[in-house]
Structure formats: C-alpha cells, structure tokens
Amino acid sequence: MIDFAYAANSAGSQSSLMQFLPLLLILVIFYFLIIRPQQSKHKKHQQMLTELKKGDKVITLAGIVGKITKVNEQYFTLEIAPKVEVEFERNAISGKVPE
C-alpha cells in the first residue's frame, strides 16, 4: 500500500513538469519573435543617432522633416524652413531621409 503511494507521487511530479513545458515553449517563442527583433531594432536606431552629423536631413517622430544645423550631446537643432530652427531631443529623431 505504501509503495503505491510513492508511485502515485512520482507520477504527479512528472505531470507538473509537463504542465510547465507549454508555458516555457511560449516564452521561448515570444523571445525569438518579439523581444529579440525589438532589441536589434533599438540597437540599429541608437547607432543611426550616433552617426548623424550636421547637414543630414532627418524626419522626427512627429513627421517633421528638417536639416540638422547643430549637434549637441542631448539635442539636435533642425532647420525646418528658411531661418526657422527648432530644437529636438535625440530620441525624437525617427530616421534619416534619403537624399
């Protein structure tokens, strides 16, 4: 009778492991489909921001297109029209506009 109880206990621990296997599989799929591509996209955006220089034409997150006139450590100054300059934070730059 006691041997039967031990056998039932060990079978229960194996089934609990099998219950966590689908959750673990979902986490691995999320990592490769969502988290990892997002990290590489962020890394490319940061690299693009560090490579920007005076004279580059960029677009902001708000959709404003301008030419960089001043580069600061935290800000870019963009000329959006003749003699109209606006200061934007680095992270507000969405991308470089092809010339």
39 and 60 co-located in one domain: no
Q: Structural domain of residue 95, as residue ranges?
A: 53-99
Q: What is the mean predicted confidence (pLDDT) over 69-91? A: 94
CATH number where 68 lies: 2.30.30
- HSE-CB at 50 with a 13 A cutoff on CA atoms is 6
83 and 94 co-located in one domain: yes
Handedness of CA 54, 45, 93, 77 (dihedral sign): negative
Query: pLDDT, tens digit, for every residue of 39-76?
Result: 999 999 999 999 999 999 999 999 999 999 999 989 99
1 and 44 co-located in one domain: yes
